[in-house]
A and B are shown apart, each in its own frame.
Chain A
C-alpha cells in the first residue's frame, strides 16, 4: 500500500471537524502559552528570551522558510510530475517514484546536517531551505503523477476527438482535474516543511525551533514551551489554510 492519502485525515467527517476546529485550537494555543509566559515575566530568563521582537523574528523566519520551500516544491515537482505522467515516460516514472520513496525514509535532520557539512559549515536561510525542499518534494511529485494518471482516459479521448490539441487537453482538462490531488500533496508538503523547519536552527537559520533549543539548554521549560506551542500553532494554521485551499480551490464541478 502506498502512503498516499489524498487528504491526510482520510474521512469526510474528520475533515470538516478539522476545518472548523483547527484554527480555533491554534489561536487558543497561542493565546494560552503567551498568557502563561506573561505571568512569569518577572523571571529574567523568560523576560530576555520571550520578547515580542524575538517571537516575531523567529516566527517570520519559520514562515519564510516554509513559504520558500512551498514555492520551490511547486515549481519543480508539478512540471516534473507532468513530464513523468506522459505516456513516453511510462517506464521511467516508477523508477523515479521508487527513488523518491526511498528518499522519504531518510531522516530530515540527517538531510539538513549532510547539506550543512557538505557546504563546509555554511549557515543561513538557503542551507536549511534547500534540503527541506528536497524532502518535501515527494508528496507533491507523487500526488501530481497520481492526479494526472487518474484522469479518466475517455475524457482525454473526447478532448482530442473534438479537436483539442495535446497541450490544450493537458491545460484545460488534465491539470484542472488533478488540482485536488496536487493541492492535497501541497498541503502535506507544507506541513512537512513547517515541521522540518523546526530543525532549521541546527544550521543557523533560526525558526521557532531555536526557542525550543534555548529553553532546553537553559532548562527553562517555559521558554521551551513557548517555542514548541507556537511551532505547533503555526503548523496547525498552515495545515488549516491548506485544507481551505483543497476545499475551495478545487474546480467547482468536482466538489
Chain B
C-alpha cells in the first residue's frame, strides 16, 4: 500500500493519536509553565538560587529521556503518569531560564515608577514584571514544546498515548506490508504537529504581547 493510501485509510486513528499526542504535550507545557514561572519568581532575586534552579533543570536536559522515563515506571506505574512527569521535567529549563532572565532585565527605573505610584509588591510583580517578561516566557514555552513533541513519542513504550504508538507498531511490524507506512506516519505526524504548534505559538505571541514591547 502506498503511503498516501495508508494515511487515507487510517486517518481517524491518526487523528486520534495526533490529538492525544498534542494534548499531552500541551498539558505538560501548561504544568511546566506554572511550575517554572513559580520557581523563577521565587529565585530571580537571588543569584545563588537562580544558579541552583538553572543548574538542576539543565542537568535534567542532559539525562537521556528514555532513562528518566524508565526510572519513573516503577515509581508511578504504567500509562500516562511517567510520561507526564518526564515531559514536565524536560520542559522546565527553557521556561525557568527565560523567566529568570526576563524578570531580571526589567529596568530599575520602571520598577521605581511602579512603586512610586503606589503599586504593592504583588501588583508590581504581576502587572509589570511578569507582563514584561511574558514574551521571553512564551519563547521558552515554544522551545520546550518543540522538545517535548519528540520526547513524547517515547510514551508509547509504556502504553502511553500519542503518535509514538504508530512508530512502535511500525517497528514490531517488521516485514509486514504497512510497517514502513506506520513508522513514516508516526514520524511525519510528529513533525507536522510540531510545526503547527510552533505557528500557534507565534500567533499567540503576537496577540498577547503588548505593542509597546514587541521586538
Interface residues of A (CB under 8 A from B): 1, 3, 8-11, 13-14, 16-18, 21-22, 25, 102, 104-111, 113-114, 116-118, 121, 191, 194-199, 202, 208-209, 212, 215-216, 221, 224-225, 227-229, 231-232, 235-236, 239
A-B contact pairs, 11 of them (CB 8 A): A3-B94, A3-B146, A8-B58, A8-B93, A102-B191, A105-B191, A114-B183, A117-B179, A117-B180, A195-B62, A195-B65
In chain B between 167 and 201, which residues have their CB closer than 8 angstroms to a CB of chain A?
A: 167-168, 170-171, 174-175, 179-180, 183-184, 186-187, 190-191, 194-195, 198
Given A18-B59, A110-B190, A111-B187, A11:B64 Cβ within 8 A:
no
Docked-complex contact B153 and A107, CB < 8 angstroms: yes
A253 to B68, CA, bound (A): 39
One of A10, A18, A231, A239 near B67 (C-beta < 8 A): A231
A105 in contact with B67 (CB, 8 Å) = no
What range describes how many residues of B lie at the interface?
Answer: 35 or more
- Chain B contacts for A121, CB-based, 8 A: 174-175
A202 near B171: Cβ-Cβ < 8 Å: yes
Residue of A nearest to B153 (CB): A107
For the complex, give the distance between the alpha carbons of A122 and B43 in Å: 50
Chain A contacts of B48 at CB under 8 A? Answer: 13
Is A110 a contact of B186 with CB atoms below 8 Å?
Answer: yes
**Contacts A1-B142, A117-B179, A212-B70 given; does A235 touch B51 at CB 8 Å:** no
- Decide yes or no whether B118 CB sits under 8 A from chain A: no
**CA–CA, A236 to B153, complex, Å?**
23
Verify if B109 is at the interface (C-beta below 8 Å from A): no
Give A13 to B44 CA distance when docked, in angstroms.
13
Say whether A109 contacts B164, CB under 8 Å. Answer: yes
Contacts of B174 in A (CB 8 A): 116-117, 121
A109-B164, A110-B190, A121-B174 known; A208+B55 contact, CB < 8 A: no
Residues of chain A within 8 A of B198, CB atoms compared: 105
Known contacts A105-B150, A109-B164; A216/B190 CB under 8 A: no
5 shortest interchain CB distances as A-B pairs: A110-B187, A13-B51, A107-B153, A105-B194, A221-B74
Q: What residues make up the interface of B, taking CB atoms closer than 8 Å to A?
A: 47-48, 50-52, 54-55, 58-59, 61-68, 70-71, 73-74, 93-94, 97, 100-101, 139, 142-143, 146, 149-154, 158, 163-164, 167-168, 170-171, 174-175, 179-180, 183-184, 186-187, 190-191, 194-195, 198
Q: Are A194 and B143 in contact (CB under 8 A)?
A: no
Given known A191-B61, A228-B67, contact A109–B153 (CB-CB < 8 A): yes
Contact call A11/B50, Cβ cutoff below 8 A: yes
B59 pairs with A13, CB closer than 8 A: no
Known: A107-B190, A109-B153. A11 touches B63 (CB 8 A): no
Contact A10 B150 (CB under 8 A): no
Q: Hey, which chain A residues are within 8 Å of B168, CB to CB?
A: 113
Q: What's the Cα separation between A38 and B78 when bound, in Å?
A: 26
The binding surface of chain A is classed by DSSP as helix
Please indicate the chain B residues that have their CB under 8 angstroms from the CB of A8 in the complex: 58, 61-62, 93
**Residues B66 and A209 in contact, CB atoms below 8 Å apart:** yes
Q: Are A106 and B64 in contact (CB under 8 A)?
A: no
Given A107-B164, A109-B164, A198-B64, A118-B180 contact (CB < 8 Å): yes
Q: How far is the CA of A106 from the CA of B64 in the complex (A)?
A: 16
Contact between B68 and A228, CB atoms less than 8 A apart: yes
Interface pair B66/A9, CB less than 8 Å apart: no
A195/B71 in contact, CB under 8 A: no
Q: Which of A3, A109, A194 has the most CB of B within 10 A?
A: A109
Contact of A208 among B67, B163, B164 (CB under 8 A): B67
Q: A11-B50, A114-B180, A225-B74 are in contact. List 19 more A-B contacts (CB 8 A).
A: A102-B191, A105-B149, A105-B150, A107-B154, A108-B150, A110-B187, A117-B171, A121-B175, A196-B64, A198-B66, A198-B67, A209-B67, A212-B66, A216-B73, A224-B71, A224-B74, A232-B63, A232-B71, A235-B64
